[in-house]
Structure 1
Amino acid sequence: MKWQGRRGSSNIEDRRRSTGGGARKAGGIGGIAGVLILLAGLYFGFDTSGFVDLGGGTEQQASGGEVTAADEMAAQFVSVTLADTEEIWADVFERQVGRAYNPPTMVLFKGATQSPCGGASGASGPFYCPGDQKAYLDTEFFVTLENRLGAGGDFAAAYVVAHEVAHHVQNELGILSQANRIRAQVSERESNEISVRIELQADCFSGIWARLAQEKFNSLERGDIGEAMNAAAQIGDDTLQRNAGRTVQPHTFTHGTSEQRQRWFRTGYETMQMAACNTFETNNL
């Protein structure tokens, strides 16, 4: 991905050197359950820390830690990618929605921080919080993405940013609030099914961004789409459960299978139309 030397976003809130912040209680989960929860926390999408705590029941303060040269490079990359999403979605909203797009803020942190959706940590993975319309990202997550999940490459990292921004797009359209209202009123299985539709739509929106970013900025290089598709495959619910040594249990899926995530990303990439990403009115997820 060609990104260096291009405009960065001003909608960055850098908390990586912060040592203050409120504390949260972290309940203890061990054994295989802890492993599965950690893997779940590495999904892209909603904040898992609101309903899952990792650790031994101690207070976790928002903390910074050393900001390395790699962290700085990652922050610059995120800033440029975020700027790209701002321009792309402003154009898409004008043409396909008929109104202005209000971009989110990206919070960069190291270690742990707080959000209206709950505590954030490196274990919780990136997430979008509709409560403050901010996306949260530990800059070390890109290392996890490559080393632990097998999804390396700069465009795989761009996909992470684009996916979280896609949740903001859903929030701007009122989709997220409606879906979450329904999720709170139905069974766990039905709530999971709605969550899958939310996540697959975000993947589809990410595909729209990828195609239009290529057309507007000529930023994609050979193999970039393959990196994004590989990332989508590596974080499919079925793949994560297999890699954790578990039997695949579709009723527990919250993000969709590897095949589904790839297919919906491809749908957005090929059509460039938000209407084609309506995962809520199809029986063919």
Structure 2
Amino acid sequence: MRMDDERESRNVEDRRNSSGGGGRGLPSMGTMMMIWPLIRPLLRTKFGWAILGLGAVAYFSGFNPLSLVGMGGASGTVNKVKDEKEAVFIKKVLRSTEEVWNEVLPQYGLRYKEPVMVLYRGSTRSGCGHASAQMGPFYCPVDQKVYLDLGFFDELARRHNAPGDFAQAYVLAHEIGHHIQNMQGTLDKVQRAKQSWGGNSVKSNALQVRVELQADCYAGVWANRAHKQFNILEPGDVEEALRAASSIGDDKLQKETTGYVRPDSFTHGSSQQRVEWFRRGLSSGDLSQCNTFQ
């Protein structure tokens, strides 16, 4: 993805060096598996439990106790460099969404209001409540901000086998799609409909799927327009986005975690649906082709 010559957005709150909750979020499963051989023998003695307690206090206070045993030292520096590189890239992607939607939305009778992207690590606070890395990226309509822990991109690559810069761009473009839905009044209408159904989860889930698929389509529209405007796409980029869309379909995720699929519990759509709606936006570049509610 060609972004070297693009500018970074200024609509960014960088909270990566702080946390709304006053400390870190819970360590990932991968981290726990890595340090389990160190933890296991400590669980056998009271002294070991005391060490673990001190380590937990240190961790949630912001210090990495693994650095004392030769883990997380040099690799922490490498990760910081990688983290900063990804931050610069995603700020450039945000800028491209601003330029595209400022040009496109007036054609549909809307004046674009640029949202803010919040970068954080572990956990933070949002207008919609507590935000944690485990939640994944999300858009909060209350404060009109996108919340993103850059560690999600590592998860996208490792767990979901969807690496690549354009896969990352697709994730952000999807969340910006929710912002556009908020401006259009779609999110309010959906919320009122859900409330009127009195907790009918099946109907609410089905409606939420339509919301998510439309955001996928809007992401495709952005990709179409951004390429025409800035010539950003390189060979393989579209495949990266399609792989990302497919890898986080509800059916695929459910099968990986439970071994079976329950369509009535879908909230984002199947892999096939997500790919199809992203493709529709990408091929047309037209918001009117993204009406998933028909």
TM bin (shorter chain) = 0.7 to 0.9
1:23 deviation in Å? 6.9
Q: What is the alpha-carbon root mean square deviation over aligned residues?
A: 2.5
Matched, 1:74 2:62: no
Give the 3 Å change call, closer, same or farther, for CA 218–280 of structure 1 in structure 2.
same
Equivalent residue runs for 1:80-119 within 5 Å: 80-95=92-107, 97-119=108-130
- Pick the aligned partner of 1:233 from 246, 271, 283: 246
Partner of 1:4: 4
Percent of aligned positions with the same letter in both sequences? 47
User: Which 10-residue stretch deviates more, 244-253 or 159-168?
Assistant: 244-253
Indicate the residue corresponding to 1:158 in structure 2.
169
**In the aligned structure 2, how far is the partner of 1:208 from the partner of 1:64?**
43
Q: Distance in 1 between matches of 2:61 and 2:274?
A: 33
Tell me if structure 2 keeps the 8 A contact 1:109–1:137.
Answer: yes
Higher helix share: 2
Match of 2:44 in 1: none
Structure 2: which 5+ runs fail to align? Answer: 26-59, 65-75
Residues of 2 paired with 1:218 and 1:149: CA distance?
28
Which letter does structure 2 place at the counterpart of 1:268?
Answer: G
The alpha carbon displacement at 1:180 in A equals: 1.4
TM-fit CA distance, 1:246: 2.5
CA contact (8 A) 2:21 2:123 kept: no
CA spacing shift, 1:233–1:64, aligned 2, 3 Å: farther
Contact kept in structure 2, 1:8 and 1:83, CA below 8 Å: yes
Q: Matched residue of 2:293: which SS? A: helix
Moved over 2 A (4+): 21-24, 61-67
TM-score under structure 2 normalisation? 0.80
1:177–1:69 CA distance, 2 compared to 1 (3 A): same
Aligned length, in residue pairs? 249
Q: Which amino acid in the other structure matches residue 96 of structure 2?
A: D
Measure, in 1, the Cα distance between the counterparts of 2:63 and 2:289: 41
Per-residue CA deviations over 1:152-172 (Å, capped at 9, x if unaligned) read 110000001100100001001
1:62, distance to aligned residue in structure 2 (A): 10
Q: 1:92 Cα deviation (Å)?
A: 1.1
Give the superposition deviation at 1:63: 7.0
Give the Cα separation in 2 of the matches to 1:62 and 1:247.
40
How has the CA–CA distance of structure 1 residues 150 and 90 changed in structure 2, closer, same or farther, with 3 Å as cutoff? same
CA distance, structure 2, for counterparts of residue 111 and residue 192 of structure 1: 28
Residues 211, 270 of structure 1: 8 Å contact kept: yes
Partner of 1:34: none
What residue ranges of structure 1 are gaps of 5+ in the alignment?
27-60
